[in-house]
Structure 1
């Protein structure tokens, strides 16, 4: 029996964007403008920085694993119950927990071929069968994704707006697509860039749907400039959240 599963052995190493100081050292230059990782160049709010400095006084203590205080504040902001909120080490941390919590050995995943690389890495390392559907004009081909749904489908991932394409699916497109998704299939709507698209009239803010099989993911990394803090959050039916909190 091999030590490393074949689906791990066959993976290519993920190459993240390099830190600015590493580029400066390698290239021997002093001025660098980094665009590789979609980081907020304005940085975090001074109030967020002050809160983090204050929290450092208790860094020798283990934190509340469930993040109850932040979950409660997010619940109030988005008019849901605290039991509808989950936190993670970035949105990717929650994606990983979703895969480990809900997918059985024979379950399958559907997503777009050229969408967010973070989810692609997590899906490929799960050992599950994955249907990577080619994009159409740099957009999710929802019709092709719907046609791929079968008895083994358990999870569908959609980044909206998409990273790296920058395109989005409309409210009408999502409504039509959802009619083809069985209730037993979970849909992750990754809205990491929600704040940049919410003013678009036909953008489908998933918080207005509240479907039992839809998990909304958002983050403090982009609009709030806290990428290094690794704070992602998600909303879903309390039964889904309750099981995520067990893992």
Structure 2
């Protein structure tokens, strides 16, 4: 009887390029927990208010604590808690916000030890078909990785709320909580800031959009505008009466 001996070689597992990239840049990604007072509601002769909590993502771009995110995540937040990959938290404050482009810049007083900021790419050099990764907090689950490609480069028309804002379209998985998170090139630079999705179901359907890094750089770093932190609420009907305001105010 012939004896067949099969030798099994132990081959070390080597992390692939995406895995190495994630390990390198993920610490610069933060989870943003926001708290704000919802507009008052007039019901049964009484005015009621409620606190609304939200979650989004952001990315550290400087050693002195500058973080890029989406405007709709933080624009009217009363307080922002910035959570790092180790679970530690600190307070953030909005420095600039551009609602029309859906990008915002916030700051923190101190960056935790061991966290290295990431750089912004020249997004003009990012091409359709390039592989990218997205890191964020879908449904509040922090530092979640998704991989995809640049599917297109779009500039919405004048009828869009993003009129004139350059966007990357991507097939990488994006869900609620990813907003404000970074879209990375395989070189580890931020090519875009996640903004929104197009979806009939309300969840991921392969149509995600991110504001290009060059747009964010121009609006928030090169010609940063004044941000007041004030947003308006239209008072009419019973609500106007409750505040003793003219109905047309």
Q: Is the structural similarity TM-score above 0.5? A: no
TM-score for the superposition, normalised by structure 2:
0.24
Which one has a larger percent helix, Structure 1 or Structure 2? 1
Say which one has the larger Rg: 2
TM-score for the superposition, normalised by structure 1:
0.24
Which one has a larger percent strand, Structure 1 or Structure 2? 2
